[in-house]
Amino acid sequence: MMALEEDLRAQLMATEIRNIRGRGPIEVKVDQFAAFQLVGVLQLAWRHPGLSDDMRDTIEQFGRGLQRAFDGPDTPQLALTLEQGWHREFDR
């Protein structure tokens, strides 16, 4: 019984995903410290070996959008650290 319910939910979700594709951006507000943490978490997820190229592109696009909050003159080290997070040669 549970498998049938899960299959139905998956079908409904697939329809919903098709319907929202291309709807456009949503606005999200987050404080700067949380944005810094989120970029780091997104960079960690971005490294997952099972991600498709589309998923990796989406994560990077969103993460880099958050990263722009640190492009000011008062956060040069944070900006550098976040940028390094997109480059595997800086992984430890």
User: Can you give the residue ranges of every domain in the chain?
Assistant: 26-90
Question: What's the pLDDT tens digit per position in 25-59?
Answer: 889 899 999 999 999 999 999 999 999 999 999 99
What are the angstrom distances between the C-alpha of 34 and each of 39, 66, 86?
A: 9, 10, 18
What's the pTM? 0.79
Cβ atoms within 10 Å of 17's Cβ, excluding its own = 9
- pLDDT on residue 1: 62
- pLDDT on residue 4: 87
Pairwise CA distance, residues 8 & 34, whole Å: 36
Question: What's the pLDDT tens digit per position in 51-76?
Answer: 999 999 999 999 999 999 999 999 99
Alpha-helical regions (H) of 1-92: 2-20, 32-46, 53-67, 76-84
